[in-house]
Amino acid sequence: MGVVIPLDGSPSAPSIDPLLRLTSAGMERVNQLIFDRVGSDVQLIPEIARHLVNSGGKRLRPMLTLACAELCGSQGEGAVKLAASVEFMHTATLLHDDVVDGSEMRRGKLAARMLWGNEASVLVGDFLLGQAFKMMVEVGSLHALDVLSTAAAVIAEGEVMQLAAAKNTSTTEDEYLAVVRGKTAALFAAACEVGPIIAGRDRDEQAGCRSYGANLGIAFQLVDDALDYGGASAKLGKKVGDDFREGKITLPVVLSFRRGTEAERAFWKRTLEQGDIQDGDLEQAIAIMRRHRAIEDTIERARHYGAMARDALALFPDGDMKDALIEAVDFCIARTN
Amino acid sequence: MGVVIPLDGSPSAPSIDPLLRLTSAGMERVNQLIFDRVGSDVQLIPEIARHLVNSGGKRLRPMLTLACAELCGSQGEGAVKLAASVEFMHTATLLHDDVVDGSEMRRGKLAARMLWGNEASVLVGDFLLGQAFKMMVEVGSLHALDVLSTAAAVIAEGEVMQLAAAKNTSTTEDEYLAVVRGKTAALFAAACEVGPIIAGRDRDEQAGCRSYGANLGIAFQLVDDALDYGGASAKLGKKVGDDFREGKITLPVVLSFRRGTEAERAFWKRTLEQGDIQDGDLEQAIAIMRRHRAIEDTIERARHYGAMARDALALFPDGDMKDALIEAVDFCIARTN
């Protein structure tokens, strides 16, 4: 566990608090809207949906929609509805992911599929996706609809890609990045891009926010990958080694496999491809990663995308919201300390 | 001008010489083949083609094809023909590029269009592309044909994208990277990928070489972008400031524009968008870039792709060719010193 060293002589470690504070009024409206829209006469739906909604996610994606809309001068109901849509899309993805991965836990709680079964999880996911689209349609921006529905297709494509790449320890870094662009960065990018769209801002602002979101999304995922092998992940409610136990091929694995010896490659194939995991294997995995600097270099790669995210916002005039969004990037990277 | 600091205590600066040496026998056959295949009864064709062929390019792309084939155990005629095809594709692109950009110089000599005109440049480019495909067909690998013809389409797509993005100083880094992936990285990637294909090696080797080539290509282009604003570019036969005078939006410009003041943005718009360039403007451009660390950070971004290229090759067994390919990456980055 390292110590966060503040950069540029700033008095404290980078924090997500400014972003939380600046979006808190809007997020209250988003949360209210989410509760309103998970209602259904089919009782199972609000039951499962409330389980998810209460499960303590940070709601980073809808927060980004509100922040980017406000950065562009919009605080209207449109941004709130698009933000809630983004969160519904995200929740639907989580429900479907847990079914596909056979996950037992989600954010430190039992996954919905363990409580209500796979079928209900798939269908409630579809319901949330439907509600998301209904809300987007209410907003009435065809452009925002185009961006978010394209993201939905790309996310699904990314999941299928991941399915195809699953259990392949010799996945290249480029192939893994393509998966990350689909499963994580696409929604971050869309969540940010609809902010300037709903605010009626021009192409440059849209492209800037999109690029900020996409690169923050990649950095976020790579940091998550690194945390899963030894970062201070307690705050996430996610135990170290989840990815390993699920046989997920993430960047620390990609780098370790490629840089490793034949014996080490045999270890990764046994544990991740064949799923034959024994006592001490996680410790062994982390030791191999440390030997090849795979976790450090995963974070180093994340820094690159973080730098791109920061530059993407540079065109916007200085102000609290821009500062908060940039600090969120630094916070994301600093989580690995 | 900095001094190249050897990494890891190695005795000398990274060099391209090992790659040149290891591929020299094959490259002699490639060069012979190139001369054989530019023959035509239409006299203008060999005339223009010889001008290009003699114009002193480093032939890095065909060299990569030979190196990746040999890395995978193949030294046959197939690799030589594919390498020559790759160089023809590259030369065709240069011919067409110069017409599109209205360039007057190429590698320190008059561009072909200045000597024979735009029409002949376009058509001889088409001829070379045709010859490239004929040679690929002779090799008889449908897979290699697929990879190279896909690259040809992507390159053209990248050029059109660049045309659309041209003169737009607010191009995002992501948008610029998409252009680079098309106009530079696609051919590097294909040049490398056909090596293992012609050697009959499996998916992992193909993906590894492809990823090496794509990331080396991006690093190469970013380094070129940096050199154009003040590196030791004499060796390239390219004068500092070519990109600036042609109004090209490259990464140092993207970063400087985004990080700059309103006055600086007005400067970039006047010089690059409106093409109103006056005495002292290049020096001014470089000063602005230095102020925002835009050149340094362009090189820093190149390092990231260089690191990815190195890791992409890590799966191959150690040996001289692998070492030479990895040293080529370091050489590419060290050119900026």
Question: Which chain B positions have a beta carbon within 8 Å of A291's beta carbon?
Answer: none
Task: Reply yes or no on whether the pLDDT at B4 is more than 50.
Answer: no
Q: What average pLDDT does this structure show over B90-114?
A: 87
| B170–A204 CB contact, under 8 Å | yes
The answer to whether B109 and B50 have CB atoms below 8 angstroms apart is no
- A261 touches B: beta carbon within 8 Å: no
The answer to whether A211 and B174 have CB atoms below 8 angstroms apart is yes
> Which of A174, A206, A210 is the best substitution to test chain B (most B C-beta atoms within 10 A)?
A174
Closest-CA distance of chain B to residue A310, Å: 10
Of B105, B30, B35, nearest to B63 by C-alpha is B30
With b for 16 or more beta-carbon neighbours within 10 A and e for fewer, the A32-68 pattern comes to ebbeebbeeeeeebbbbbebbbebebebbbbbbbbbb
A2-26: pLDDT as tens digits:
444 444 545 579 999 999 999 999 9
Give residues 281 to 300 of B whose Cβ lies within 8 Å of A.
297, 300
The residues that bridge with A106 in the sheet, in sequence order, are A109
Task: Reply yes or no on whether the pLDDT at B158 is more than 50.
Answer: yes
Annotated domain spans of chain B? 11-334
Name the residue among B170, B174, B308 with its Cβ closest to that of A173: B308
Rounded to whole angstroms, the Cα distance separating B124 from B46 reads 9
* A242 or A151: which leads in pLDDT: A151
B235-248: pLDDT as tens digits:
334 568 889 988 99
Of A251, A244, A228, nearest to A305 by C-alpha is A251
Give the pLDDT score at A205.
Answer: 97
Give the pLDDT score at A238.
Answer: 52
H or E segment to which residue B106 belongs: strand B105-106
- B266 touches A: beta carbon within 8 Å: no
Helix (H, G, I), strand (E, B) or coil at A105: strand
Residue in chain A nearest B202 by alpha carbon: A170
Rounded to whole angstroms, the Cα distance separating B178 from B159 reads 11
* B59 or A101: which leads in pLDDT: B59
| B210–A172 CB contact, under 8 Å | yes
CATH 1.10.600.10 fits A11-334, yes or no: yes
- A178 touches B: beta carbon within 8 Å: no
Name the residue among A173, A208, A311 with its Cβ closest to that of B259: A311
pLDDT band, residue B115 (cuts 50/70/90): confident
A195-208: pLDDT as tens digits:
999 999 999 999 99
CA distances to B21, B66, B84 from B78, rounded to whole Å, are: 20, 10, 10
